[in-house]
Structure 1
Amino acid sequence: MSSHVVVIIGAGGMGLAIARRITNGRRLVLADYSANSLEAGAKDLSDSGFDVVTHTVDVTKLDAVRELAKTAANLGQVDAVVHTAGVSPVQASPQQVLEVDLVGTANVLDSFYEIASPGLAMVCIASMAAHLGGGLSQDLERHLATAPTDKLLEHPEIDNKTPMSYAMAKKGNILRVQAAAKLWGDKRARVNTISPGVIATAMGKQEFEGPGGDQMRHMLATSAVGKAGTAEDIANMVAFLVGPESRYISGADFLVDGGVVAGLASQRWAA
């Protein structure tokens, strides 16, 4: 049994693809809010020979995430933490999006910082939506980056009634990781974000079938690659960011969207 540990929060298609890509030879702590998803994901990986420990967690609850971090640390040296858990506008209300995607990510950053040791690399999944939303005020950006987690939703510009809360939450993830990078560096640990584009997962399918489906199809049609990505595309970037080749990278965001943002920008420039 390996004394090296990988933690993956989120047992959906992306989380399982990442687990397969980076966990071989190490113990996996797989965490999710849904006991059913957790059981199914763990069985799939265990049947393929992975050493899996499951942990049910609600990322909106700081104490629950702290318990997860401590459990992982007690199993051995935590080499990598990948936070994929989140909800989209078609799955949840704007308030739930803010609580899960914004506060939940802040809770994960806070909790795993407490157990961080030299060599730990963490990746939080943001979204290309963070690069497409309207500009935020400087005051709101500062708040999203640095406010105490228990005060994170207390800002007059945070609207819990608009679907734009998703883009703001994901932008907040990027800003918060940037602000945390120096503290993590003091522990000789690293933290980065990945902003996926349209990815062919169950969540992505729900988005395609939702009110914004036509807009997503338009974005893909005008993108550089011209099609949706796969969970494995994100897993490949995660593998780079938690591996030794990226030891000089921290506090950065990586847009893995098949050129959607670039395509939309080129349309604006041509107008």
Structure 2
Amino acid sequence: MKKEIMILTGAGQIGMAIARRMGYGKKIVVGDLNPESSEAVCRILNEAGFDAVPVEMNLSSRESILNLIAVARKHGEISMLVNAAGVSPSQASIETILKVDLYGTAVLLEEVGKVIKEDGVGVTISSQSGHRMPALTIEEDMLLATTPTEELLSLDMLQPDSIKDTLHAYQMAKRCNVK
């Protein structure tokens, strides 16, 4: 029997807590770059009576995201997305932060949005860091909201000479995700 599907990206404690609270009766497909992490979360969830399967997934890759969605759809209809994946300024370069936290989140939302059931829901776990920087201009907000996903990383405001450091890149990516 096919179940409703919850996709959980990022095999960390926050995502797992949400899955434990919201995932009962659903098949939980856990995607993470580190297969050991997704397997560990699935083991914990399954031992607690949930139904979870791990999938290796790279949030910075459209192909990898599409694979995650394909695996999820084999089990049933996607009804929930919990995006808790990402990198921090202490973990990654400016380019990686923008590719994962900005571009990857945009791709994930775009692709899941195409297939999630009509009354499906989703949440992206972000950070308060996006609120520590000055407000974006109306023009910057519009660019981030309307630029096609594949063109986001080409925006002048996201070029390395416009980004001060990894914290600034992180704040920009998180700021984009709180719209």
TM over 0.5: yes
Deviation sequence 1:95-151 (CA, Å, 0-9, x none): 111111001100101110121221110111122112221222222221211111111
What is the TM-score when the length of structure 1 is the normalising length? Answer: 0.61
Asked if residue 168 in structure 1 is aligned to residue 172 in structure 2, the reply is yes
> Which residue in the other structure is 1:99 paired with?
99
Counterparts of 1:39 and 1:74, CA distance in 2: 19
> Which residue in the other structure is 1:18 paired with?
18
Count, aligned residues = 175
Counterparts of 1:100 and 1:109, CA distance in 2: 13
What is the TM-score when the length of structure 2 is the normalising length? Answer: 0.91
RMSD over equivalenced CA pairs, Å: 1.5
Counterparts of 1:5 and 1:115, CA distance in 2: 11
Runs of 4+ in 1 over 4 A off after TM superposition: none
Identity of aligned residues (%): 33
> Which residue in the other structure is 1:36 paired with?
36
Counterparts of 2:148 and 2:70, CA distance in 1: 21
CA-CA distance at 1:81 after TM superposition: 0.6
CA-CA distance at 1:89 after TM superposition: 0.6
**Unaligned 5+ residue runs, structure 2?**
none
Deviation sequence 1:24-74 (CA, Å, 0-9, x none): 111111111101111111111111121111111111111211121222123
* AA partner of residue 72 (structure 2): A
CA-CA distance at 1:159 after TM superposition: 4.1
Counterparts of 2:51 and 2:74, CA distance in 1: 16
Is the CA contact 1:140–1:155 (under 8 Å) kept in the aligned structure 2?
Answer: no
Is the CA contact 1:2–1:25 (under 8 Å) kept in the aligned structure 2?
Answer: no
**Unaligned 5+ residue runs, structure 1?**
176-271
* AA partner of residue 167 (structure 1): Q
| Larger gyration radius, structure 1 or structure 2 | 1
Mapping of residues 38-187 of structure 1, within 5 Å: 38-160=38-160, 161=163, 162=165, 163-175=167-179
Q: What secondary structure does 2:30 align onto? A: strand
CA-CA distance at 1:80 after TM superposition: 0.8
Which has the bigger relative contact order, CA under 8 A and spacing at least 6? 2
